């Protein structure tokens, strides 16, 4: 079966670049949701813990359970809010507070302009009152930037909105509340950092999505995707490959089938504009559920060693390429 190599040295390099921005490894909260962006939840959690990362962010409690022993705190972005000594839960709506278990640790997400989820600014007073009434423990306040990876003033506008939020939290009498708003793009473009945490995801996996106009921080892809040969055959000129026979051999050629397909989460793409592997091999014809064809007789090929490059070929973003891969694909650390 196809397999993924995880480059530990690249991963630690990326974490170090973020630590240089925050001023401390202790301020990094590693985002491990969605199977650590396709890299492997438990595997990346262990590597991060060994590096000295103390805080993690996941989507569901079930994910948190798998890495519970590795971190001091785990923020759960979207699940039932229960009391737990290690877990804190995001409050996205006033209803979340009403449904929260008494004594649960919560972090108030405030909508400062992204308008996806979070408490509206004019709901803050009601939210503060409900937190007190429900008896939950407010340990954090957060927001999310909608355009931190774009050259516009919106990032600074949202930052100003969040400054107002932080002041109102203090005025409401809440203490020992950690503050965090920065994602990867925000921390990479920032010249100074004075918050308690940075929630960093795509950056520690090796991808800087900022335009080149910003100061460039060199990051290295952590994941490479490989496939193993199933079979080989010599095609004669004029013979066609795969479903629909989309590829026609222009000359005699050696073609091999490799064990990676859309059933593994690899994009089917467009056979008229074939994906070219990191070794410079175009996919011949249509991608099948469990296989691709390449002009090669190698026992093993590297299909992708940079998801950002692959994403450009597919007309998408690196996030979709990595998170789309099946969690069942075997992984090895190099």
State whether 115 and 28 are in the same domain. yes
In a domain, 31, yes or no: yes
State whether 122 and 195 are in the same domain. yes
In a domain, 213, yes or no: no
- Separation CA 231–CA 154 (nearest Å): 53
Q: How many domains does the chain have?
A: 2
In the predicted model, is pLDDT for residue 325 greater than 90? yes
Percent of the chain with pLDDT over 70: 96
What is the arithmetic mean of pLDDT over 104-112? Answer: 96
In the predicted model, is pLDDT for residue 279 greater than 70? yes
> Would you name the residues annotated as active-site residues?
33, 243
In a domain, 130, yes or no: yes
To which residue do tokens 């496939």 refer?
227
Q: Which residues contact 111 (CB under 8 A, 6 or more apart)?
A: 117, 118, 119, 120, 121, 143
Of 9-23, 28-42, 167-181, 207-221, which gets the smallest average pLDDT? 207-221
In the predicted model, is pLDDT for residue 217 greater than 80? yes
- Separation CA 29–CA 71 (nearest Å): 10
In the predicted model, is pLDDT for residue 148 greater than 70? no
Sequence ranges of the binding site for substrate: 116, 289
Measured between its terminal Cα atoms, the distance across the chain in Å is 18
In a domain, 175, yes or no: yes
State whether 233 and 196 are in the same domain. no
pLDDT band at 150 (very low <50, low <70, confident <90, very high): low
In a domain, 216, yes or no: no
User: Domain residues for 193?
Assistant: 8-205
State whether 40 and 186 are in the same domain. yes
pLDDT band at 159 (very low <50, low <70, confident <90, very high): confident
State whether 26 and 160 are in the same domain. yes
The pTM of the full predicted model, rounded to 2 decimals, is 0.94
Helices (H) and strands (E) in the chain, counts: 10, 16
State whether 194 and 270 are in the same domain. no
- CA-closest candidate to residue 112, choices 76, 180, 159, 174: 159
pLDDT at residue number 147: 60
State whether 174 and 73 are in the same domain. yes
State whether 276 and 188 are in the same domain. no
State whether 161 and 32 are in the same domain. yes
Q: Check which CATH number belongs to the domain holding 270 and give it.
A: 2.40.37.10
Q: Check which CATH number belongs to the domain holding 147 and give it.
A: 3.20.20.10
Of the residues 205, 232, 248, the one at which a domain ends: 205
What is the arithmetic mean of pLDDT over 132-152? Answer: 85
């Amino acid at each position: 079966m196809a397999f993924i190599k995880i480059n530990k040295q690249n991963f630690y390099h990326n974490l170090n670049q973020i630590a240089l921005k925050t001023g401390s490894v202790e301020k990094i909260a590693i985002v491990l949701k969605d199977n650590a962006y396709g890299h492997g939840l438990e595997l990346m959690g262990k590597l991060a813990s060994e590096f000295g990362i103390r805080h993690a962010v996941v989507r569901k409690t079930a994910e948190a359970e798998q890495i519970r022993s590795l971190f001091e705190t785990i923020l759960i972005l979207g699940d039932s809010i229960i009391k737990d000594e290690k877990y804190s839960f995001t409050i996205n709506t006033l209803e979340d507070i009403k449904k929260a278990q008494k004594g649960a640790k919560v972090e108030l997400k405030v909508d400062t302009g992204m308008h996806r989820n979070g408490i509206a600014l004019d709901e803050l007073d009601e939210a503060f009152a409900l937190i007190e009434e429900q008896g939950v423990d407010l340990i954090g306040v957060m927001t999310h930037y909608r355009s931190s990876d774009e050259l516009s003033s919106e990032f600074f506008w949202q930052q100003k909105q969040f400054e107002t939020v932080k002041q109102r939290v203090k005025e409401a009498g809440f203490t020992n509340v950690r503050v965090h708003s920065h994602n990867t793009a925000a921390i990479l473009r920032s010249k100074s950092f004075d918050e308690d945490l940075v929630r960093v995801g795509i950056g520690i996996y090796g991808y800087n999505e900022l335009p080149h106009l910003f100061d460039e921080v060199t990051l290295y892809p952590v994941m490479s995707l490989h496939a193993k040969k199933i079979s080989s055959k010599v095609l004669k000129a004029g013979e066609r490959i795969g479903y629909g026979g989309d590829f026609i051999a222009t000359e005699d050629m050696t073609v091999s089938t490799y064990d990676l397909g859309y059933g593994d989460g690899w994009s089917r793409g467009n056979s008229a504009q074939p994906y070219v592997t990191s070794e410079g091999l175009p996919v011949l014809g249509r991608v099948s559920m469990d296989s691709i064809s390449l002009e090669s007789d190698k026992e093993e090929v590297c299909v992708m060693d940079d998801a950002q490059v692959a994403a450009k070929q597919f007309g998408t973003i690196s996030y979709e390429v990595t998170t789309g891969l099946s969690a069942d694909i075997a992984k090895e650390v190099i």
